[in-house]
Each structure stands twice: as structure tokens, then as C-alpha cells.
């Protein structure tokens, strides 16, 4: 593992095991094997849990990190509980462009701190697949007004542990102030909506009839 790979991973994993716990919790509900992670930077934690992950980022540091394939594989081996080898690939690109990924081919789309991932990458998600999204940069709000998606679970975080609830979902995504949430508003502010409840994130499911 080269020095840059080690340093970038140590910074990413500064709360050791945090992302592993997140993706393990999500996988317990959503299942699946293929993940698309636009705006991943160097967060390879999905590969600790899932069989096949495609990472996408335009940051040159991410490209250098994933370019050290043996180093990335070493990180994954040290953290992966399943002895089966994890397949992964990295695409150095802006996720808003056309990606070399078949449409309707992935089981989980990840949108964490990366902008409006759901707007540009839902085409790659299979019908019935899941979107994991947090409130940062407005993408959770964007998904909430997308008729293709239904909120199916909420991801909570407390003291380094993640939980998922499928109950009382109507009490989430309720703005603190009366707000007409539109794509135009979200694009204009590039911020999330202030909601009455503030979980870590949300799981939406793509309409299976698409």
C-alpha cells in the first residue's frame, strides 16, 4: 500500500468501523449485491459488505487512491468478514455525465454528501432497488418529491451505532416551516430542508413497476 493510500484511508476511517456498521445495517434490510456509489471519494466501506461496488468520483486524489489497486484490496481484505472476494471498480468521472454502467443494473444507489445523486443516477438503479441518502446538499429532499421513489425506512445513528426503523414514516420529512419543496428551490439553495426530525439518512425504494 502506498503512503497516499494509507493516509487517505486513515482520514476517511477516522472513526474506525463507522461506515462498516452503516453498510452492514443497510444490507440487513435492503440486501442486494451490486452497489453504485457516486461521489464516493475514498470510502470503500461498501466493499466490506457487498459483493460488487462501482465507485465514481472526479477528485484526482480519489483516482490516485483507487489506482493503488493492491492497497485498496488490502484495506478491503482487512475489513471484510465474508471470505469471498469483493469485486470493485472505480470510474474517474463526474457522476452527472453518462457513466459506463448498464441502466437498471444496481441494487443500491448511495448518496452521501455528494449533491443530487438521485437526479442523475437513478437510471442505473433496478426497479425495486434502494437509494441510501442523507439530508446533506438536499438530495433526501429531492428524492422525497420524486414520484419514482417511496420512503421505506429511516436510518438512525447514536453513539456510533446505526439502526433502521420502518415505523411511523409519515412523521419524517416534515419541514419545520411550511415549505413548498420543489426541484427549483433545492437547486437554488443547494441545501437540505430543515425537518422536524433529523435522522442520519433515509432508504427510498424505486418503483418496481418502472
Distance set, CA 118 to CA 7, 17, 40, 57, 106 (Å): 30, 26, 14, 15, 13
CA 208 – CA 210 distance, rounded (Å): 6
Each residue's pLDDT expressed in tens, for the chain with a length of 210 residues: 999 999 999 999 999 999 999 999 999 999 999 999 999 999 999 999 999 999 999 999 999 999 999 999 999 999 998 888 899 999 999 999 999 999 999 999 999 999 999 999 999 999 999 999 999 889 999 999 999 999 999 999 998 899 999 999 999 999 998 888 999 999 988 788 899 999 999 999 999 765
d(CA 46, CA 40): 10
- Specify the CATH class of 3-206 in words: alpha beta
Amino acid at each position: 500500500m502506498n503512503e497516499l493510500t494509507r493516509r487517505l484511508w486513515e482520514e476517511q476511517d477516522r472513526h474506525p468501523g463507522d461506515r462498516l456498521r452503516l453498510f452492514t445495517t443497510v444490507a440487513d434490510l435492503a440486501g442486494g449485491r451490486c452497489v453504485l456509489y457516486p461521489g464516493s471519494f475514498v470510502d470503500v466501506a461498501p466493499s466490506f459488505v457487498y459483493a460488487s461496488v462501482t465507485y465514481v468520483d472526479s477528485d484526482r486524489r480519489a483516482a490516485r487512491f483507487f489506482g493503488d489497486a493492491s492497497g485498496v484490496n488490502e484495506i478491503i481484505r482487512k475489513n471484510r468478514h465474508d471470505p469471498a472476494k469483493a469485486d470493485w471498480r472505480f470510474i474517474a468521472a463526474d457522476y452527472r455525465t453518462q457513466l459506463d454502467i448498464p441502466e437498471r443494473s444496481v441494487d443500491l444507489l448511495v448518496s452521501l454528501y455528494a449533491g443530487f445523486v438521485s437526479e442523475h443516477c437513478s437510471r442505473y438503479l433496478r426497479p425495486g432497488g434502494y437509494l441510501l441518502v442523507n439530508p446533506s446538499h438536499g438530495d433526501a429532499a429531492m428524492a422525497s418529491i420524486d414520484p419514482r421513489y417511496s420512503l421505506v425506512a429511516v436510518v438512525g445513528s447514536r453513539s456510533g451505532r446505526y439502526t433502521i426503523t420502518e415505523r411511523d414514516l409519515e412523521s419524517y420529512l416534515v419541514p419545520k416551516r411550511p415549505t413548498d419543496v420543489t426541484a427549483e428551490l433545492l437547486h437554488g439553495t443547494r441545501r437540505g430542508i430543515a425537518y422536524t426530525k433529523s435522522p442520519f439518512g433515509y432508504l427510498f425504494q424505486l418503483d418496481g413497476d418502472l
